[in-house]
Structure 1
Amino acid sequence: MMDCIHVSGIRAYGYTGYLPEEQALGQWFEVNAKLWLDISTAAKTEDIKKTVDYRSTIDIVKNLIQDSKFILIERLVEAIANSILQQSEHISQVQVILSKINAPIPDFGGTVSIDVTRSRSLYAVNQ
């Protein structure tokens, strides 16, 4: 049995981007994350150590967006997914959707997003 904690709408201002103005001026990013884990013990005992304190997830995401200066958002989303997996041995899989809000592309008012799913077993192999 696998349960899922959804943490949505994490927004932070960062400097990741391919274009020079993205790295100099920055832009807003938004992250939605799903963390798969078994919460049954935490539900029975009400022990936060048996689950994930999602405040840590929010801090991890915000700090990576604010402090990183990657060229590609592909690298940023990968760093976020791997850092979330590192935060707790309870997490078996994570899905991260990173959106670049108001991407500086001429005549485009939409959002660019990347969706990655990483598992603990894949993370252990890549370390």
Structure 2
Amino acid sequence: MDKIYLNKMEFYGYHGLFPEENKLGQRFYVDLILAVDLYKAGKTDNMADSVNYGSIFQVTKEIVEGAARNLVEAVADDIAEALLGEFDKITACTVKIYKPDPPIPGHYQSVAVEIYREKK
């Protein structure tokens, strides 16, 4: 299957278990891998035969910057469900969400979750 990648989209949201995360918010980065048959788009050079990246970004932004969730796992699942539901051409997706600054003592670049979902 062909793939579309959207890498390191940056958003500001209020997800987390700790009160300071819900009050102060924090940065989140999202990577998407979208399974889409791109054969026809490659031949026709017509956007109607692909998926609009700007629309994908907007759906993702609305979720990450929207209602607060306790777990980034839930945010990732919300993104996958929305993308699979709103875009007919997407047959599966991988969603990876990074929290670069979680309130966890220690030295690390980030924490992240990654989920894979496909249409049933």
TM score, norm. by length of structure 2 = 0.95
- Computed over aligned residues only, the root mean square deviation of the Cα atoms, in angstroms, reads 1.0
> How many pairs are equivalent?
120
CA distance in 2, matches of 1:86, 1:11: 23
**For 1:15-41, what per-residue CA distance to the aligned partner results, in whole angstroms no more than 9, with x for missing partners?**
010111000100000000000011111
- What displacement does 1:68 show? 1.9
TM-score (structure 1 length as normaliser): 0.90
Give the whole-Å Cα distance in 2 for the aligned partners of 1:31 and 1:107.
Answer: 22
- After TM superposition, the structure 1 = structure 2 runs for residues 8-87 of structure 1, keeping only pairs within 5 Å, are 8-87=7-86
Percent identity reads 31
Per the TM alignment, residue 110 of structure 1 is displaced from its structure 2 partner at its CA by 3.0
Alpha-carbon separation, structure 2, partners of 1:78 and 1:108: 28
- Superposition misfits of 4+ residues, deviation over 6 angstroms: none
User: As a proportion of its length, which structure holds more helix?
Assistant: 1
Q: Distance in 1 between matches of 2:21 and 2:59?
A: 21
Q: Tell me the distance in 1 between the aligned counterparts of 2:97 and 2:88.
A: 23
Cα offset, 1:106, TM superposition: 1.9
Aligned to 1:3: 2
Q: CA-to-partner distance for each residue in 1:35-93, whole Å, 9 max, x for gaps?
A: 00111111111221111101111111111111121111111110011111122111111
